[in-house]
Amino acid sequence: MKYPNGVKKNNPDSKTLNKSASFARRGMSLETRINEANEYYLVHGIANIHKKPTPITIVDVDYQSRQTARIKEAYFVKASTTDYNGIYKGKYVDFDAKQTQNKKAMPLTIVHQHQIDHLRSVVQMGGIAFLVVEFSSLDEAYVLSAKNLLKFWDAAKKNDGPKSIPYEHFLNNETLINSKILPVFDYLSSIGSLLDE
């Protein structure tokens, strides 16, 4: 496990901080915590990262009042990208968020082919691409670099590797997302090694 930037410097009493942060996280979905972090990053001029709206196709809208136009019929459309992107330290950042209850590995089935294709394209174009992976039962989340994800994915497709990424891989090679007071879910502090590549 790599430690996020500045974890020791900023958290002299990290046990206490992690406790309160863990308390603050209770009941907050992963998406809510990421959105909250993004709001913090934006307000403080650290990063400008947003979740993309759910793609839908609208069939029927009731325009009776312009202020309250009501969509009466619409359908979900398959996404072609990941859910989050934006700018951090002048660089293009792109990621998706994944959760698993599994304590021993992240099953590759929770990642979709279009997300793999998109992340691969972003990597090729020089962007910072990753997954935020939460092991819910362990109350731990990691930044999984897209490059490592793609290695596991490609090996599995060739029947040359496991169909999941072992928890040990995260422990030994990826960066933990530290729980702080503000923002509670400071995932950008965990992508430092990706920025340096």
Interaction site with a copy of itself (CB under 8 A): 42, 45, 47-48, 50, 52-56, 58, 68-77, 80-81, 85-94, 118, 121-122, 124-127
| Least Å from the CB of residue 80 to a copy of itself | 7
Q: Are strands 70-76 and 56-62 parallel, antiparallel or unpaired?
A: antiparallel
90-127 b/e (C-beta count within 10 Å ≥ 16 → b):
eeebbbbbbbbeeeebbebeebeeebbebbbebbeeeb
Q: Give the residue carrying structure tokens 């962007």.
A: 127
Query: Which of residues 48 and 109 has its CB atom nearest to a copy of itself in the complex?
Result: 48
| Least Å from the CB of residue 98 to a copy of itself | 20
Query: In the structure encoding, which two tokens stand for residue 161, read together?
Result: 């590797």
Query: Which of residues 25 and 51 has its CB atom nearest to a copy of itself in the complex?
Result: 51
Q: Give the residue carrying structure tokens 């009493």.
A: 13
Query: Which of residues 59 and 171 has its CB atom nearest to a copy of itself in the complex?
Result: 59
| Least Å from the CB of residue 189 to a copy of itself | 17
| Least Å from the CB of residue 90 to a copy of itself | 4
Query: In the structure encoding, which two tokens stand for residue 24, read together?
Result: 């603050």
